[in-house]
Every structure is written in structure tokens, then in C-alpha cells.
């Protein structure tokens, strides 16, 4: 999956850079190359990257449960006592 994402990103960047080259040369095909490169980058490469990285992401670190909320409240109370406010 990693190589597919890298390949799609390189193809998209190649199309965009080729569009820049044709824009400098005043060729009318540069619009299509910009468009296909952008579509490839945003609608193919980014979703593939997000799908690839989704499995390596640990969501449980960011889910709050009641124990963590109570610990946070207790920590705030002890900090208020120690700070003198």
C-alpha cells in the first residue's frame, strides 16, 4: 500500500510539474495536466494515504472515559490547593 501511495503521489506531482512546463511554453494542454494532477493528488492519493495510515492509528489514546475525567478534576483540585488560590 505504501508503494501505491508513493506512486500515485509521484504521478500527480509529475502531471502538475509537466503542466507548469507547458504553461511556460504557451501550450494549451497545461490546463488538463494541472487538473488531472490535482484530481489525482486530492481524490486518489490523499484518500489512499488516509486509508493506509488508519490501521496504524491508536484511537484509544484520545477517548475520554469517566476515570480520566475524575483524575483530571482531582489534579485541578490539588493544583488549586498547592497554588494558594
For the segment 11-51, what is each residue's pLDDT rounded down to a tens digit?
999 999 999 999 999 888 999 999 999 999 999 999 999 88
Give the pLDDT of residue 78.
75
The residue among 23, 25, 49, 46 whose CA lies nearest residue 34 is 23
Q: What percent of the chain has pLDDT above 90? A: 49
Distance in angstroms (rounded) separating the CA atoms of residues 32 and 17: 12
Give the pLDDT of residue 8.
93
pLDDT band with cut points at 50, 70 and 90 for residue 69 = confident
For the segment 55-66, what is each residue's pLDDT rounded down to a tens digit?
777 767 667 677
Amino acid at each position: 500500500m505504501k508503494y501505491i501511495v508513493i506512486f500515485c503521489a509521484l504521478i500527480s506531482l509529475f502531471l502538475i510539474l509537466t503542466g507548469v512546463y507547458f504553461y511556460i511554453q504557451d501550450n494549451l494542454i497545461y490546463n488538463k495536466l494541472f487538473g488531472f494532477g490535482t484530481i489525482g493528488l486530492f481524490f486518489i492519493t490523499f484518500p489512499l494515504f488516509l486509508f493506509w495510515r488508519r490501521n496504524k492509528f491508536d484511537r484509544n489514546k484520545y477517548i475520554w472515559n469517566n476515570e480520566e475525567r475524575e483524575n483530571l478534576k482531582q489534579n485541578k483540585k490539588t493544583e488549586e490547593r498547592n497554588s494558594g488560590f
